């Protein structure tokens, strides 16, 4: 009878042991608002893709071929990808084409569209919208200072 009791106790404990939960990975917060990023790594290389998940220890980057998990210790900076310059030219030219509504001749419309396309290209080249998403605090920046006294 004792043997049956011992075997039953072992069977119940082995079922409970099989239901243990594995340790959960570090928390990772999804980042759906950042589509295209450029990740500068500490070894000098860069990686491009979409930022899928940003955690406390690593980040997940998706490109055309695969999903990459990069440790934050290896990341120097994460920036949004810059807008293309032709984007500003198209926006400027579209503003210039509004002259068609006012009944301007074709020569006037083409000159206005060309001028606004040039302005749009210059403005888009000045402001690329490449904002910094992540930069580690421990990164030391090189700086030079001087003082002039009279």
Backbone angles phi, psi at 129, to 5 degrees: 60, 35
pLDDT tens-digit profile of 116-144? 999 999 988 888 888 888 888 765 566 77
The token pair that represents 42 in the structure block: 């500490």
The whole-number average pLDDT for the span 31-44 is 82
Q: Which fold has domain 24-81?
A: SH3 type barrels. (2.30.30)
Quote the distance between the C-alpha of residue 34 and its chain's center. Answer: 5
DSSP designation for 33 = T
Give residue limits of the domains in the chain: 24-81, 85-126
Of the listed ranges 27-41, 46-60, 91-105, 135-149, the least confidently predicted one is: 135-149
The whole-number average pLDDT for the span 93-101 is 85
Of the listed ranges 18-22, 49-53, 77-81, 99-103, the least confidently predicted one is: 18-22
* pTM recorded for the entire structure: 0.58
pLDDT at res. 67: 87
């Amino acid at each position: 009878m004792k043997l049956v009791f011992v075997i039953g106790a072992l069977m119940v404990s082995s079922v409970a042991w099989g239901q243990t939960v594995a340790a959960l990975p570090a928390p990772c917060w999804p980042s759906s608002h950042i589509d295209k990023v450029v990740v500068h790594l500490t070894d000098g290389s860069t990686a491009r893709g979409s930022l899928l998940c940003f955690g406390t220890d690593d980040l997940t980057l998706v490109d055309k071929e695969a999903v990459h998990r990069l440790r934050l210790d290896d990341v120097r900076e994460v920036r949004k990808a810059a807008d293309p310059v032709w984007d500003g030219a198209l926006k400027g030219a579209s503003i210039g084409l509004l002259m068609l509504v006012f009944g301007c001749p074709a020569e006037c419309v083409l000159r206005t569209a060309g001028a606004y396309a040039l302005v749009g290209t210059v403005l888009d080249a000045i402001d690329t919208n490449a904002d910094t998403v992540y930069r580690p605090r421990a990164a030391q920046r090189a700086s030079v200072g001087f003082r002039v006294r009279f």
